[in-house]
Structure 1
């Protein structure tokens, strides 16, 4: 039975794509709600349909666009899943393209304007655009314009973003006979166990993250960033610290604005404690080297320092001083969410007697409604905290190595 393979929402998408004539179908909504799974299958269906059209028109090698933010996201979200589900393992040419079901699939990367180079001038018989809201608008428009082959159709999926986002305003909010969209919530994915869904809900931060990740809504961020921080729960005194087994640091360089180094200690079960805060204005790099060396003396020479990459000369100086310094991934929303999740699940605590600037920042660190990101104020210690937490626990991809440089 089809209900053993697809959820009710996925079946509704299938019915709409099979029974209707359309040009663009967009699936949008919560993470883990089943959008990419059904679109991956639609991608395969579309390739077979394109091959049939090409046979009727005598086209030896029709072309189709497979688009994503980068080669790694295409592999992770699409190609690896197709391999896991159907043992489909493409054979790539020197341009990272491949032939599947007799259709030449040309990859395009939507994260920057240079990503359209591979598709300029081509006539495509369709496109699959993964993570569409992360695409540059001009790249998305170029992909649409390239889909001029007979019967060309475009499928795409995306998580929600700011309600003023061009994808929502120009496409999702403007359905027509040729443009359709489907909204997904976490609970639409009934193949996830009830326990799993409840665990996801319990660990999702309040506010914007909840509305987007659980309900799949395009909402603006509003108010304080770390809404789940509770001083009555998340402040402790250092004399009550449990036994800590792992230590790591975050570094936010500064001079006129405050520089900051924070030290995080973790228990074996992954509960994190901010155990040292060092924040100063108008200090040169020698000062921060001394602070870092003191931290090494207390917690070990190999303690990692996740550093703001905006001052590469400072990172190099740390490394020259045999400090284990690394450039931090500064992804703001992902980093903020990683910290917010720990507050939500009571897995991050602050030693109140060891911090002076954190208490002034935590309630003044607020969202920029227009940009959907935190305002760059009251964030010196909080940036250092974000660099430490996010990078120490950033998932490491464990993907099959396809040939072709992906």
Structure 2
């Protein structure tokens, strides 16, 4: 068996560069499913073996190594489970969720918030593996780097792209600093993927920013409207059509407002497609007015969940005190937008357009903000309510991974 049977040409290029270079930091960045993390997982094992050899020469019994991800669950899913499945490694964790492998103590920490600092502060590490690096809190990232002061320490990192002003891109990937290796991945670099999968993943990925990042691995911001795939000829249904559907479940999305419009939308789900069937939007409405609307929705649709903007916990509490099943909605903005954009792209999003006047106003005015890769906080109130509702429902029902949503879309289209 040769290297070509195990690794793609891109991965072999990186392995050779790592072998021939005295590097301090390796950053593999680019498209999803392009082979970045699979390669880094293997380099991680190689680095642990190298660390053990270095420590032995130095007479160090228990060298330490940092393994960081957005959260400990992400480390488990992206790295440890993959290594267990591939090599049969059984990880035995201590009470702090650390483990020892090849004679090296691996300290796990989350980098998504400043809380991750406590796990590594004061330690001396012989290296680090930082998964999903663009999601890291910059202070935690810098602390991990500072902790890697053991002789010959190296840092492995991988990430999907973010906006073009991101600190990881500007300060590290584009720095041309000695000791930093960085490699850009496109989806097509993963030559082991089924060509049919590649063809259909391209066809079902929303155009614009999500395609540029997810397929071409580019660090780009959005341009123009946030939902360019919305098409009145495809996504619009009538009230009569909506009434003819027996939904599998129904829920509501809520965005609080005052000067900005507040909104409650009612959304039904049928065979993995989402239908916005009611819109209630207003300015300068007090919480009692929104409670009255919610109770009327409950009277007609039953005790459905209301997924609400979590920024106003006192309003959520007021709903709950009134007997309304209100919950903080999932507020991962880009993930939520990508979820809805993917549904639109795959003809799995529908709306009673004629009866949703605020949606009609916003859908063509909701735009991206400059180079930040974030939407402009204008003309987004009903659209935010829809996002809170749909993305929370996706997460609650165990399908937070949009790759799975794409798989379902392909199944509905008869592609798998």
Q: Contact 2:164 / 2:371 at 8 angstroms: preserved in 1?
A: no
Paired residue for 2:411? none
Paired residue for 1:135? 136
* Superposition map of 1:238-277 within 5 A: 238-241=239-242, 242-245=244-247, 246-267=249-270, 269-277=271-279
Q: Contact 1:253 / 1:260 at 8 angstroms: preserved in 2?
A: yes
Paired residue for 2:221? 220
Q: Contact 2:164 / 2:372 at 8 angstroms: preserved in 1?
A: no
Q: Contact 1:67 / 1:109 at 8 angstroms: preserved in 2?
A: yes
Paired residue for 1:58? 59
Does residue 5 (structure 1) correspond to residue 25 (structure 2)? The answer is no
Q: 2:314 and 2:14 mapped to 1: Cα distance?
A: 52
TM-score w.r.t. the length of structure 1 is 0.93
* Superposition map of 1:394-405 within 5 A: 394=395, 396=398
Structure 1 residues 373 and 13, CA gap change in structure 2 (3 angstroms): same
Equivalent residue of 2:285, what SS?
coil
Q: 1:324 and 1:94 mapped to 2: Cα distance?
A: 37
Q: Contact 2:25 / 2:156 at 8 angstroms: preserved in 1?
A: yes
Q: 1:148-200: CA deviations, max 9, x gaps?
A: 21211111001101112121122211335521111111111222212222222
Paired residue for 2:329? 328
The RMSD of aligned alpha carbons is: 1.8
Q: Contact 1:175 / 1:181 at 8 angstroms: preserved in 2?
A: no
* Superposition map of 1:3-402 within 5 A: 3-241=4-242, 242-245=244-247, 246-267=249-270, 269-301=271-303, 303-394=304-395, 396=398
What 5-or-longer segments of structure 2 have no aligned partner? 401-416
Q: Contact 1:185 / 1:214 at 8 angstroms: preserved in 2?
A: yes
Q: 2:387 and 2:274 mapped to 1: Cα distance?
A: 12
Q: 2:273 and 2:232 mapped to 1: Cα distance?
A: 17
> How much has 1:84 moved relative to structure 2?
2.2
Q: 1:156 and 1:52 mapped to 2: Cα distance?
A: 22
What 5-or-longer segments of structure 1 have no aligned partner? 399-406
Q: 1:282 and 1:166 mapped to 2: Cα distance?
A: 39
Q: 1:205-245: CA deviations, max 9, x gaps?
A: 11111100000001121111011111232222222335232
Q: 1:80 and 1:149 mapped to 2: Cα distance?
A: 28
Q: 2:96 and 2:353 mapped to 1: Cα distance?
A: 55
Question: After alignment, is 46-55 or 110-119 more displaced?
Answer: 110-119
Q: 1:258-279: CA deviations, max 9, x gaps?
A: 1111011222x22222110001
Q: 1:379-398: CA deviations, max 9, x gaps?
A: 11000000111111127389
Q: Contact 2:252 / 2:264 at 8 angstroms: preserved in 1?
A: yes
Q: 1:122-156: CA deviations, max 9, x gaps?
A: 22111111111111222222222221212111110
Question: After alignment, is 68-77 or 23-32 more displaced?
Answer: 68-77
Q: 1:283-336: CA deviations, max 9, x gaps?
A: 2222222212222222222x2211111222222232233322211111100001
Q: 1:70 and 1:397 mapped to 2: Cα distance?
A: 18
> How much has 1:204 moved relative to structure 2?
1.2
Q: Contact 1:63 / 1:123 at 8 angstroms: preserved in 2?
A: yes
Equivalent residue of 2:251, what SS?
strand
Equivalent residue of 1:118, what SS?
helix
Q: 1:210 and 1:69 mapped to 2: Cα distance?
A: 23
